[in-house]
């Protein structure tokens, strides 16, 4: 399952035990002796739990909401602040993904900066496409997250190797489409403000059709995020990795929200 979110797949705490075998083979005899002389498991207070991961996720989203309020309120007084915040957020996301150990400070910094971006772009959508579009996108996002979590918790939906492979192929295809569409728009090949997304197929904008598929992909990405956290709890990973779980979920939820916001905007054209 460690194929989707690099925030999880780069950490052995969220993978199966096979990685531990390879690590053990590379260790010296003294290192192995030191390892086996340590306590078998961490104390319960020091291991990752579902409750602790939820608390850390709530803290991260709280910071994100504060940033979103700043971005919303300053979208006119400080133009393009949210664009700069988006670029900084992208850099911080890469830093958090490639760090071997989770850093609460960097993850919360990402939440705050990305919140400014989300708040700013939300305010721009609200002004450009009419009142209520942001509220609709927020409600739709909460519904998708809530339903996905409920289905996962009840065991009615689970990640599988086959579904994950399909998901990865779809992700690559969507990335290629997005890059091509961005190129066409930058070089004025298409006059439509949405590029290829504005092309109608059987009377429906292509952006809406693709957007619905992307929402489904984001929902499955959430399933993978929940699965990775559950795996970390089963592996009795150190408590600090709850921050990694919070970061992974936050990235997916932001992606989901922005996709829903764009779908609603396209339908209002």
Percent of the chain with pLDDT over 70: 83
Q: What is the pLDDT of residue 1?
A: 41
Identify the residue with better confidence: 243 or 33. Answer: 243
Checking if the pLDDT of 105 tops 70, the result is yes
Paired residues of 47 in beta bridges: 238
Q: CA nearest 153: which of 226, 45, 49, 77?
A: 226
The DSSP secondary-structure symbol of 49 reads -
Band of the pLDDT at 7, cuts 50, 70, 90? low
Is the sign of the CA dihedral 25, 18, 233, 56 positive or negative? positive
With contact defined as beta carbons under 8 Å apart, do 194 and 210 qualify? no
Summary mean pLDDT of the chain: 86
Average pLDDT over residues 143-164: 92
Q: pLDDT tier at 188 (50, 70, 90 boundaries)?
A: confident
CA separation for the pair 22, 16 (Å, rounded):
12
Does pLDDT of 49 surpass 60?
Answer: yes
Whether the pLDDT of residue 138 is over 90: the answer is yes
pLDDT > 90? residue 257: yes
Answer yes or no: is pLDDT of 251 > 60.
yes
233 contacts 49 by C-beta, under 8 angstroms: yes
Cα(90)–Cα(111) distance, rounded to whole angstroms? Answer: 11
pLDDT at 75 over 60: yes
Residue 91 has pLDDT above 60, yes or no: yes
- The mean per-residue pLDDT over the stretch 201-220 comes to 93
**H-helix or E-strand containing 268?**
none
Looking at per-residue pLDDT, the higher value among 92 and 186 belongs to 92
The helix or strand, by DSSP H or E, that contains position 197, with its residue range, turns out to be none
Q: Which of 19-28, 41-50, 175-184, 203-212 has the lowest mean pLDDT?
A: 19-28
pLDDT of res. 3: 45
Percent of the chain at pLDDT exceeding 90: 67
CA atoms 208, 210, 216, 217: torsion sign: negative
pLDDT band at 79 (very low <50, low <70, confident <90, very high): confident
**pLDDT tier for residue 121 given thresholds of 50, 70 and 90:** very high
Residue 193 — very low, low, confident or very high, per pLDDT cuts 50/70/90? confident
| Structure letter (DSSP) for residue 238 | B
Q: What DSSP line would sit under 136-171, residue for residue?
A: HHHHHHHHHHHHHHHHHHTTS----HHHHHHHHHHH
234/48 Cα distance (integer angstroms): 9
User: Can you tell me the mean pLDDT for 165-184?
Assistant: 94
Nearest to 216 by CA among 267, 171, 248, 179: 171
Whether pLDDT at 100 is above 90? no
Between vectors from CA 234 to CA 230 and to CA 240, what angle results, nearest 5°? 75
**Does position 53 have pLDDT exceeding 80, yes or no?**
yes
Half-sphere exposure of 142 (CA within 13 A, CB side): 7
pLDDT over threshold 80, residue 35: no
Which residues, 6+ apart, have CB-to-CB distance to 224 below 8 Å?
A: 1, 4, 5, 8, 159, 164, 167
Query: Can you give the pLDDT at residue 19?
Result: 43
């Amino acid at each position: 399952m460690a194929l989707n979110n690099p925030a999880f797949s780069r950490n052995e705490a969220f993978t199966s035990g096979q990685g531990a075998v390879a690590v053990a083979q590379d260790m010296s005899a003294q290192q192995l002796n030191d390892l086996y002389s340590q306590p078998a498991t961490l104390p319960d207070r020091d291991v990752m739990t579902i409750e602790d991961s939820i608390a850390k996720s709530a803290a991260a989203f709280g910071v994100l909401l504060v940033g979103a309020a700043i971005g919303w309120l300053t979208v006119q007084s400080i133009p393009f602040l949210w664009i700069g915040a988006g670029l900084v957020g992208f850099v911080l996301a890469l830093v958090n993904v490639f760090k071997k150990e989770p850093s609460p400070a960097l993850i919360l910094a990402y939440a705050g900066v990305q919140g400014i971006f989300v708040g700013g772009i939300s305010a721009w959508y609200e002004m450009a496409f009419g009142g209520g579009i942001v509220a609709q996108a927020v409600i739709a996002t909460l519904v998708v997250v809530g339903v996905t979590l409920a289905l996962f918790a009840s065991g009615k939906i689970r990640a599988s190797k086959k579904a994950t492979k399909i998901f990865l192929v779809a992700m690559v295809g969507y990335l290629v489409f997005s890059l091509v569409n961005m190129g066409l728009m930058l070089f004025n090949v298409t006059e439509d403000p949405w590029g290829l997304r504005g092309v109608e197929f059987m009377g429906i904008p292509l952006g809406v059709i693709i957007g619905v598929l992307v929402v489904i992909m984001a929902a499955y990405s959430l399933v993978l995020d929940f699965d990775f956290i559950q795996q970390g709890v089963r592996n009795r990973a150190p408590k600090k990795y709850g921050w990694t779980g919070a970061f992974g979920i936050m990235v997916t939820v932001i992606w989901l929200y922005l996709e829903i916001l764009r779908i609603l905007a396209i339908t209002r054209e």
